[in-house]
Amino acid sequence: MKVTIVGTGYVGLVTGACLAEIGNDVFCVDVDPRKIEILNSGGVPIHEPGLQEMLRRTRAAGRIQFSTDVKASVEHGDIQFIAVGTPPDEDGSADLQYVLAAARNIGKYSNGFKVIVDKSTVPVGTALQVKRAVDEELKARGLEGSEKHGFSVVSNPEFLKEGAAVDDFMRPDRIVIGIDDDRAGDLAREKMKRLYTPFNRNHERTLYMDVRSAEFTKYAANAMLATRISFMNDLSNLADTVGADIESVRRGMGSDPRIGYHFLYAGCGYGGSCFPKDVQALAQTARENGHTLRVLEAVEAVNNDQKSVLVNKIVKRMGEDLRGRTFAVWGLAFKPNTDDMREASSRRIIEALLARGATVRGYDPVARDEAQRVFALDLADRPDDLKRLHLVNTQQDALTGADALVIVTEWKEFKSPDFWHLKSALKTPVIFDGRNLYEPESMAEMGIDYFAIGRPHVELDRHGSSN
């Protein structure tokens, strides 16, 4: 099938590559010539495991192309995926300017019946706005109501985890499709069913519903996952106070099949492109419709506070004035297997340490360049602080001469380090672990002063060691 993907960001690029992988003829368009230049030269502007190899195969087979030519992109695809950004406005609502611009372009250059698919995460009612935008452009061309230039707007939200997006797309647990119940909708359903047939070979994964319900489903799913994270983080802070171990609590809770273990890990807050933005957007949608999602507003408040918990532990242990202190920070991206720095906890933590006069040596396996760009912007008005931030190339480079280690992202390579070497590299054997990677008792036995999230702090002198 001929498919057009509007937007070569995270969702668009993964969607385009995976659809090309199974044999479709895919045209990816973007208004950013820099991205297109990178893609046409064989590069990938984002880090996602398996994506570069897939793009290499599909490009070599001639099944995927990248261009800034909007007219050509509209003429190419019978199915037009809109996969552009929907950043939050000041009030938290989703900014739909890029979605509606894409819709207008489709109406402006349409050369036949089009299935227009909202792949971007958009609030309830967006499909109607897209329909109006396309209608306006067709009317301007004198084609309104033309059977040949008809179209149907479909909601097909993505459920991709960064770091596992290719696998999620190729082996989906569900495919949600919202379609209007009319003649154009029937044609769209046939095309979407054909497009997704290869993903339903083993069993039917497609859930058909009305458009508004499909739009709502994406936000509801992310809101639920964010709620589980914030709930555990809230409990972890109480566990700190009453002396309970949140890891034991997590295992006790997760063993209940009604609850399960997913997204029950306490830490230093969620980030990324989805949860923060989608929680805010859904809460704003509720307010616009005269409702208050009290649970969801609490979820956001807890997450905002949680990003300061690790800093509070550092200050309690090492003092408010951190001038002359150096901290090694392991992990800069908001989660493993990505270079995404959007809403990453590391940004809040590092900026707080720098503001107290500390020097920071940060390491991340893949996010170094993106972190360099982000911190240059974040600290543009704090040049003295920026000078004390050093993004290094190895774990060892970060550790050497540091007063303490701060763990922010749970990359696999951080889970089982050489602790004796780590201890010798630090000026003082102190670890502040924002992801609960290690066991407090084991750390104390090795003479490491270990502070985690919601886990008891084991005094070193119990094991015959001292600071």
218 is in an annotated binding site: yes
> H or E element: which one contains 375?
helix 368-378
178 is in an annotated binding site: no
32 is in an annotated binding site: no
Structure tokens at 374: 């982000």
35 is in an annotated binding site: yes
56 is in an annotated binding site: no
Q: Say whether 28 is catalytic.
A: no
267 is in an annotated binding site: yes
Q: Give the whole-angstrom CA distance, residue 424 versus residue 230.
A: 36
240 is in an annotated binding site: no
265 is in an annotated binding site: yes
Contact 354, 375 (CB under 8 A): no
121 is in an annotated binding site: yes
Contact 159, 168 (CB under 8 A): yes
Question: 169: alpha, beta or left, given left = phi > 0 and alpha = psi -120 to 50?
Answer: alpha
The amino acid that residue 235 corresponds to is L
Q: In this structure, what DSSP letter does residue 115 have?
A: E
3-state SS, one letter per residue, for 39-97:
HHCCCCCCCCCCHHHHHHHHHHCCCEEEECCHHHHHHHCCEEEECCCCCECCCCCECCH
335 is in an annotated binding site: yes
53 is in an annotated binding site: no
Q: Give the whole-angstrom CA distance, residue 135 versus residue 141.
A: 10
Q: Give the whole-angstrom CA distance, residue 142 versus residue 305.
A: 55
305 is in an annotated binding site: no
Question: At what angle are helices 368-378 and 345-355 packed, to 10 degrees?
Answer: 50
Name the catalytic one among 18, 28, 268, 274. Answer: 274
148 is in an annotated binding site: no
Residue positions forming the annotated binding site for substrate: 159-162, 218, 263-267, 271, 335
State the catalytic residues. 274
| Residues tagged in the binding site annotation | 30, 35, 86, 121, 159-162, 218, 263-267, 271, 277, 335, 342
Q: Name the binding residues for NAD(+).
A: 30, 35, 86, 121, 162, 277, 342
